[in-house]
Amino acid sequence: MRHTLPLAPQFYVTAPQPCPYLDGRMERKLFTALQGENAEKLNDSLSQQGFRRSQNVLYRPSCADCSACLSARIDVSAFKPSKSQKRTSKRNANLERRATSPWATEDQYALFREYLDSRHADGGMADMDVFEFAAMIEETPIRSRVIEYLDKTSGDLIGVSLTDVLSDGLSMVYSFYAPDMQRHSLGTYMILDHIKIAQEANLPYVYLGYWVPGSQKMGYKSKFSGLEVYLGGRWQKMRDPENFSPDTHPLSTDPIAEQVANISLPDTRPTHKP
């Protein structure tokens, strides 16, 4: 099904499929292509409205009878590390950060396979081959970076984050890390380091993707102070996650046509200098 705004990108809806986060639910996504000379403006604008990027596509959950998935970001100015997070930073003091252009390597793919086989063997990306992995990393029409984390002693690649640089922050598109280093809490550490990068670059937010109340896979995101969720068409400070239940009411999601009509698009008209 296609929905169109005048002089704007075309929006589509995926067919329903089993939800990877909540048992017994079906997921559906609203999406549009990310291409052309205005790709960065569109990515910035829609990211601020709860969309996420996957290669050349921007998408947002639009399930027919559920609105549990909430886009989440950290307000860098409001973030204060917890005692546990401070310990995580100390445990990973031997890691070195290296930022590169979005180019896939054999070492990255080997680590990616280890991560998937250990953590997400039955997930939607489990069968991704090296060519599909390269496409995930390299097919980006916007300003993206690959942030690698290496052991200073051995030089081994320990973690990787594909990160987009937005006008108002960093968006962690996809991250993976050595699955045999659970004690190091590498997923948490990479978020902490992205907060540090954002602070150094004077960027106000770190976008984390989606948080789903009731999903253990997503529970770690709610442990960061300064967290905001996109709810009711605006960003709101996270309430106590323990009192935040997933909204699975059949009428919790607006019709697709209304959702598309309420999307704000960037002004892409050329500016004329006098």
What would the pLDDT profile of 195-220 be if each residue is shown by its tens digit?
999 999 999 999 999 988 877 777 78
Instruction: Judge whether residue 58 has pLDDT over 90.
Output: yes
- The predicted pLDDT at position 251 comes to 63
Residue 213 amino acid letter: P
241 vs 260: which has the higher pLDDT:
260
Instruction: Judge whether residue 229 has pLDDT over 80.
Output: yes
Instruction: Judge whether residue 123 has pLDDT over 70.
Output: no
Of all residues in the chain, the percent with pLDDT exceeding 70 is 89
Distance in angstroms (rounded) separating the CA atoms of residues 69 and 244:
12
What mean pLDDT is reported for the chain? 88
Indicate the range of 59-73, 191-205, 229-243, 245-259 predicted with least confidence. Answer: 245-259
In the chain, where are the structural domains located? Answer: 2-71+246-261, 73-243
- The predicted pLDDT at position 185 comes to 94
- Residue 9 tokens, joined: 């990108």
Query: β-strands 10-13, 29-33: how paired?
Result: antiparallel
Instruction: Judge whether residue 66 has pLDDT over 60.
Output: yes
Distance in angstroms (rounded) separating the CA atoms of residues 266 and 81:
34
Instruction: Judge whether residue 7 has pLDDT over 60.
Output: no
Instruction: Judge whether residue 22 has pLDDT over 80.
Output: yes
Backbone angles phi, psi at 29, to 5 degrees: -125, 145
The predicted model gives 112-132 an average pLDDT of 81
42 vs 69: which has the higher pLDDT:
42
- Residue 4 tokens, joined: 């169109």
- Does residue 173 contact residue 163 with C-beta atoms inside 8 Å? yes
The model's confidence at residue 156, banded by pLDDT at 50, 70 and 90, is very high
Indicate the range of 27-36, 93-102, 125-134 predicted with least confidence. Answer: 125-134
Instruction: Judge whether residue 273 has pLDDT over 50.
Output: no
CATH of 73-243, one of 3.40.630.30, 3.40.50.1970, 3.40.50.150, 2.60.40.10: 3.40.630.30
The predicted model gives 244-266 an average pLDDT of 76
Query: Which residues on adjacent β-strands are paired with residue 111?
Result: none
Instruction: Judge whether residue 56 has pLDDT over 70.
Output: yes
